[in-house]
Amino acid sequence: MRLKWVLTCFAIILLCGQVLGADQEKKQEVAEDKAHVLEEKAAEKDGELPVPKSAVITPSEAQAVDPAGAAPLDDAITCLARSIYWEAKGVAPANMEAVASVVMNRLGHGGFPDTVCAVVKQGSETGSCQFSWWCDGRADQVKEDDEYALSKEIARKALNKQLKDRTHGALYFHDRTVKPAWAKKYTRTAETRKFLFYKPGGGKAQ
């Protein structure tokens, strides 16, 4: 009798695990689909229109995407979250939000690609990455779970247009500890304790 009870409990646990796994996979698929729709809207001329409720990415859906920070960079949430994480992890959330805004500002802008992942990877084919973490040759797996969870939440808000653009339309940024020559060509739009932000002063983005 006891053996039968144990086997029954084991079967229930196994079944629950399968159901939870399927639910998590479904949330991931839904979030990825919504992210693609949202980035397409952001790249269009009417990208400033409110996001329809049916396309809003929920926190639980975002959490289901790349929870370990190890998945290939092939969907909008993962690409944006990983960029936020590697460019600004360990500093105030304002810096992380600003990085997200730069990526979103580039989306569909003349001189830049029209998908989040393409924006993040731009320049990799020539070794001159727009986002240095993508070309630094280091492993890109996440090390701080809390920081990555925050990055995903910021990415979710950015895609849903729920994030205030504290960069005022910036297309470029750099760390305060460096002084790149290109910065002289552009107009500074904003700054945080870690970064300085710029956009073309009437000229074209490069």
Residue 12 located in a structural domain? yes
Average pLDDT, the chain: 84
Q: How many CA atoms are closer than 13 Å to the CA of 188, on its beta-carbon side?
A: 10
Q: How many CA atoms are closer than 13 Å to the CA of 4, on its beta-carbon side?
A: 1
pLDDT digits (tens, 9 = 90+) for 123-148: 766 666 777 777 766 666 788 999 99
Residue 205 located in a structural domain? no
Into how many domains does the chain fold? Answer: 1
pLDDT at 47 over 60: no
CA distances (Å), origin 199, targets 28, 115, 150, 167, 173: 34, 20, 26, 9, 9
| Coil, helix or strand at residue 88 | helix
Q: Residue 110 is part of which domain span? A: 2-200
Residue 41 located in a structural domain? yes
Whether 157 contacts 163, CB under 8 Å: yes
Residue 55 located in a structural domain? yes
Residue 206 located in a structural domain? no
Is the CA virtual torsion 182, 104, 147, 85 positive or negative? negative
Between residues 131 and 22, which one has the greater pLDDT? 131
Of 118, 89, 93, 94, nearest to 106 (Cα)?
A: 118
Predicted TM-score (pTM) of the model is: 0.83
Residue 54 located in a structural domain? yes
Q: What does the angle CA 151 – CA 152 – CA 157 come to, to the nearest 5 degrees?
A: 100
Which whole number is the average pLDDT over 29-37?
87
Between residues 55 and 51, which one has the greater pLDDT? 55
Name the percent of the chain in helix, strand, coil, to the closest 5. 50, 10, 40
